[in-house]
Amino acid sequence: MVAANSGGLSPVRQIPAHELVVDQMRRALELGQFRPGDRLPTERELSEMLDVSRTTVRTAVAVLERDGLIAVRRGRGGGFTVQAPVYDAAAMRREMRQNKRAIRDAFDYRAIVETGATRLAAERRRTTDVAALHKLLSGMDEALHTALKEQSAQHTTDFQTLDTAFHMGIAQAAQNDRLLDAVADARRRMWLPVGAIFGRLEPNANDYHESILEAIESREPELAAARMEAHINDTRHTVEAWLKR
């Protein structure tokens, strides 16, 4: 007979290999490592990269195709192409209004892990990290300028992809693999529901990034962390105000 108090243990489910492949590929897509229009590696290349059978890759690709994340062209010259995410914005707004605590928790999580990563980045950053972040910041300025002139879902996605790369670049500069994973997870949890409601960009979308980078570059950990927290809370307040309407 199993004791009433089992210490929070629960049955273990065997996870099929293709689900693990789907999770890895979905994460890469959500974090902008592959952008809409990009060609993914071939089935054979993915099989070798992930150390799984081609059958496993084929099953995973079918799931991603069904979810509208990639398009599959078969035959000679075919391959896998990343698709721009399509959201039902109205349904997403309704769901967010019904799950305000989940949104709060996502922002709390992000604030904790990203401020920690930013503090370490200011202590440990290398010259190459700073150069890469400056390049991303320039790309974001250009993407925002274009988006404000020609508002479209594609331009918004382009900016958000660079935004994610910038924040992940800060996490990489912290030189802590576990923290890097936590930042990636935090951004996924926040942007999957929240990113969908931003159908257009505002002129202040890039305001905090330069000041955060300045503090990292000048090796001021507490200032960098404070600016990152202010940036995250600014987004939080924008979303919370929107949900109260």
Question: Is 78 in contact with 43 (CB distance < 8 Å)?
Answer: no
pLDDT of residue 221: 98
Asked whether the beta carbons of 35 and 161 are under 8 A apart, the reply is yes
pLDDT tens for each residue of 38-91: 899 999 999 999 999 999 999 999 999 998 889 998 877 778 999 876 666 666
What is the band of 10 on the pLDDT scale with cuts at 50, 70, 90?
Answer: confident
Letter string b/e over residues 160-194, b meaning 16 or more CB atoms within 10 A of that residue's CB? bbbbbbbbbbbbbbbbbeebbebbbebbbbbbebb
Per DSSP, helices labelled H in 82-126 are 89-98, 100-124
Region 9-36: mean pLDDT is 85
- Percent of the chain at pLDDT exceeding 90: 48
Please tell me if the domain spanning 17-82 has the same topology as the one spanning 89-244.
no
Domain locations in the chain as residue ranges:
17-82, 89-244
Residue 217, pLDDT > 90, answer: yes
Q: What is the mean pLDDT of residues 19-36?
A: 84
For the segment 210-219, the average pLDDT, to the nearest whole number, is 98
Answer yes or no: pTM beyond 0.75: yes
Q: Over the chain, what is the mean pLDDT?
A: 86
Rounded to whole angstroms, the Cα distance separating 149 from 209 reads 21
Q: What is the mean pLDDT of residues 198-205?
A: 69
Query: Which CATH number describes the domain made up of 17-82?
Result: 1.10.10.10
- For 233, which DSSP code? H
Sign of CA dihedral 127, 132, 133, 137: positive
Rounded Cα–Cα distance for residues 178 and 188 (Å): 15
Is residue 103 within 8 Å of residue 194, measured between CB atoms? yes
Which CATH number applies to 89-244? Answer: 1.20.120.530
Instruction: Tell me the pLDDT tens digit for each residue of 128-174.
Output: 999 999 999 999 999 888 888 876 667 777 888 888 899 999 999 99
Greatest alpha-carbon span in the chain: 68
Residue 143 to residues 34, 118, 206, Cα–Cα distance (Å): 17, 24, 10
Contact by Cβ (8 Å): 157, 37 = no
Identity of the amino acid at 24: Q
CA distances from 149 to 85, 95, 146, 173, 209 (A): 22, 31, 5, 33, 21
User: Does position 198 have pLDDT exceeding 70, yes or no?
Assistant: no
Burial classification of residue 101, based on how many CB atoms lie within 10 Å of its CB (0-12 exposed, 13-18 middle, 19 or more buried): exposed
